[in-house]
Amino acid sequence: MGRKALAGIPKSAQRAVVLLALLAPVAVEAWAQDGTQNVVPAVASVSALDVATLPRDLSPWGMFRNADIVVQAVMVGLLFASLATWTVWLAKFLELGAARRAALAGLAVLGRVRTLAEAHAQLGEDGEPMAALVRTALDEMQASADSDAEHLKERIAWLLQRVEAAAGRRIGRGLGLIATVGATAPFVGLFGTVWGIMNSFIGISNAHTTNLAVVAPGIAEALLATALGLFAAIPAVVIYNAFARAIASYRAQVADAVALVMRLVSRDCERGALPLARAAE
């Protein structure tokens, strides 16, 4: 403030005006600092409250521990389903490999022998379908040594069809479990996700906040159930399709063996020099 502006004012008043002008900036700065200090702790307290309510570990294991009990049960069930799928895969992989190798060896024997007795001598008494086919045909020939050849071949064909069907059922055991896991695991995981999201929305309503930092962890935990459902279902579907093709190939090999055994039966029936009972020895 200039001297001319203060010229008509008494000296005591001039001193008061100058003092107020000097103290005004200090007062304004102090008020601003005090207001800021009052606002910042309030914001910090809200942020601290939100952070305190969040799970600190957002890894898969941490989300599993913080999930609802129903979602946890869904996740554990899906993990067990995945473990069962891979266990069946290992068992069936070894079983199918051994069965297909034995089938190839049996087909080679049936293709080069001339009689059922010779085929039985080379295949032995094991439980493989090729040996079982030959043994079934020989047993029927021994039981029907005096029977008509056409009726004998018809009865043997029926019995061989039963052996073939039994081999197909035996090699297909376990595929039902894999098919069930592949078909239902995504829906089970979706159920866990829906349940978890419902609980997340309930928590949002109780907390009276739509802060993404509060909403996101619960939704992430719920989506983990869907991820585990896909983790169990995708390998199960792939494994089922691969085994279905392998089993179809194996059944075709058994069907070829049935045809070869019927060829040997027909040869033995037409061989008039040897009685059927002797050919079955």
pLDDT at 20 over 90: no
- Rounded to the nearest integer, the mean pLDDT of the chain is 76
pLDDT of res. 125:
74
- Closest by CA to 131, choosing from 140, 142, 119, 143, is 119
The stretches of 113-148 forming alpha helices (DSSP H) are: 116-123, 129-143
Question: How far, in Å, are 60, 62, 208 from residue 215 at the CA level?
Answer: 17, 16, 11
Mean pLDDT along residues 109-128: 84
Q: What is the pLDDT of residues 199-258, one digit of tens each?
A: 777 777 776 766 666 667 677 777 888 889 999 999 999 999 999 999 999 999 999 999
Q: Report the distance separating Cα 65 and Cα 51, nearest Å.
A: 18
pLDDT at 35 over 60: no
Identify which has the larger pLDDT, 15 or 234: 234
Q: Report the distance separating Cα 279 and Cα 149, nearest Å.
A: 13
Q: Quick one: pLDDT band at residue 186, thresholds 50, 70, 90? A: very high
Q: Is 97 left (phi over 0), alpha (psi -120 to 50) or beta?
A: alpha
Residue for token pair 């399709």: 241
CB 257 within 8 A of CB 161: no
CB 129 within 8 A of CB 148: no
Identify which has the larger pLDDT, 55 or 60: 60
Maximal C-alpha separation, the chain: 156
Question: How far, in Å, are 33, 51, 126, 189, 235 from residue 76 at the CA level?
Answer: 55, 28, 42, 11, 17
Mean pLDDT along residues 266-278: 61
Q: Quick one: pLDDT band at residue 279, thresholds 50, 70, 90? A: very low
Q: Quick one: pLDDT band at residue 43, thresholds 50, 70, 90? A: very low
Q: Which of 8-22, 37-51, 60-74 has the lowest mean pLDDT?
A: 37-51
Q: Quick one: pLDDT band at residue 140, thresholds 50, 70, 90? A: confident
Q: Quick one: pLDDT band at residue 183, thresholds 50, 70, 90? A: very high
Hey, CA dihedral for 271, 134, 172, 88, is it positive or negative? Answer: negative
CB 185 within 8 A of CB 78: yes
Question: How far, in Å, are 36, 39, 63, 132, 154 from residue 30 at the CA level?
Answer: 10, 14, 47, 101, 111
Which amino acid type is present at position 241?
A: N
pLDDT of res. 214:
63
Question: How far, in Å, are 28, 193, 204 from residue 17 at the CA level?
Answer: 17, 72, 57
User: DSSP of 21-65, one letter per residue?
Assistant: HHHHHHHHHHHHHHHHHHHHHHHHHHHHHHHHHS-S--SHHHHHH
At residue 38, what are phi and psi to the nearest 5 degrees?
A: -75, -30
pLDDT at 19 over 60: no
